[in-house]
């Protein structure tokens, strides 16, 4: 898969949020987004995911235009900010409900995804009783369970303990190795530089590939 962001600008109420972004992402690579708070990392992920439309420019996925040829990338796993899970259900039940929407995966893949993020598929606790890190892990499990071609992870390691960070980094590498296109943001510079194959710096809506 090839994603081309072509001269994309996003303005919200006159404010310039993304400024003439031009870049190409390809399968089998982990792209790291680096930049200060408010620089536009999450907005860039929203743009690529189809959650927002550019004011000018376009996003092409394998040559087809997002927002014209399809509303969302056809095979995408998304973890952005607080995922909306149902508090009264277990983690597994939440994933089952999401999986039913697409009808692509069943019990086996769901259990595997839960284990991959270090949770227990047999855990009977309701989502509302999950700790912050457990919620975060479940969100990542939801993003990967359907083995998407495009994986967008916005600060996936935020609330995680040391072991969790290692698990998630290993998981991200496995996703890349099976051929996914991964875009990940993270405020830990060292971690991101270790994990990502390519780094893009984001500053005041401008996105630039950093020389290796």
Ligand X SMILES: Nc1ncnc2c1ncn2[C@@H]1O[C@H](COP(=O)(O)OP(=O)(O)OP(=O)(O)O)[C@@H](O)[C@H]1O
Q: Which residues bind ligand X (CB under 6 A)?
A: 12, 17, 35, 37-43, 202
DSSP 25-94: EETT-EEEEE--TTSSHHHHHHHHHTSS--SEEEEEETTEEBTTTBSS-SSEEEE-SS----TTSBHHHH
The nearer residue to ligand X, 25 or 127, going by C-beta atoms, is: 25
Q: Please state the closest distance from residue 140 (CB atom) to ligand X, in A.
A: 17
Q: By C-beta, is 41 or 176 nearer to ligand X?
A: 41
CB nearer to ligand X: give 17 or 138.
17
Closest to ligand X by CB, 8 vs 145, is 8
β 150-154/76-79 pair status: parallel
Q: What does the block give as tokens for 52?
A: 């927002």
Residue 49 contacts Mg ion per CB under 5 A: no
17 interacts with, out of ligand X, Mg ion, none, CB within 5 to 8 A per kind: ligand X
Backbone angles phi, psi at 38, to 5 degrees: 80, 10
Q: Which stretch binds Mg ion (CB under 5 A): 14-22, 27-35, 37-45, 100-108?
A: 37-45
Q: Which positions from 77 to 96 touch Mg ion by CB under 5 A, shown as an x/- string?
A: --------------------
Q: Which does 35 bind (CB under 5 to 8 A by kind): Mg ion, ligand X, none?
A: ligand X
The residues, any chain, with a CB within 8 Å of residue 157's CB and separated by 6 or more, are 164, 165, 168, 169, 186, 188, 191
Which of residues 34, 39, 42, 49 is near Mg ion by CB under 5 A?
Answer: 42
Pair of tokens at residue 34: 């680096």
45 Cβ neighbours under 8 A, 6+ residues apart: 33, 78, 80, 152, 154, 183, 185
**Cβ at position 43, least distance to Mg ion in Å:** 8
Output 42 or 136, the one with its CB closest to Mg ion: 42
Interface residues with Mg ion (CB under 5 A)? Answer: 41-42
């Amino acid at each position: 898969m090839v994603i081309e962001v072509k001269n994309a600008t996003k303005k919200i109420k006159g404010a310039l949020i993304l400024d003439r972004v031009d870049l190409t992402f390809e399968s089998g690579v982990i792209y790291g987004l680096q930049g200060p708070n408010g620089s536009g990392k999450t907005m860039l992920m929203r743009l690529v995911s189809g959650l927002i439309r550019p004011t000018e420019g376009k996003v092409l996925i394998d040559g087809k235009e997002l927002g014209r040829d399809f509303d969302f990338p056809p095979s995408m796993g998304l973890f952005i900010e607080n995922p909306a899970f149902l508090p009264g259900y277990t983690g597994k039940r939440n994933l089952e409900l999401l999986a039913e929407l697409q009808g692509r995966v069943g019990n086996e893949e769901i259990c595997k995804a839960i284990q991959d993020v270090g949770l227990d598929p047999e855990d009977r606790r309701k989502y509302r009783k999950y700790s912050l890190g457990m919620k975060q892990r479940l969100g990542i499990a939801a993003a990967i369970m359907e083995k998407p071609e495009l994986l967008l992870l916005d600060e996936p390691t935020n609330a995680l303990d040391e072991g969790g960070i290692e698990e998630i980094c290993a998981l991200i590498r496995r996703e890349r190795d099976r051929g996914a296109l991964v875009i990940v943001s993270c405020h830990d510079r060292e971690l991101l530089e270790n994990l990502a194959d390519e780094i893009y710096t984001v500053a005041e809506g401008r996105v630039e590939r950093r020389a290796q």
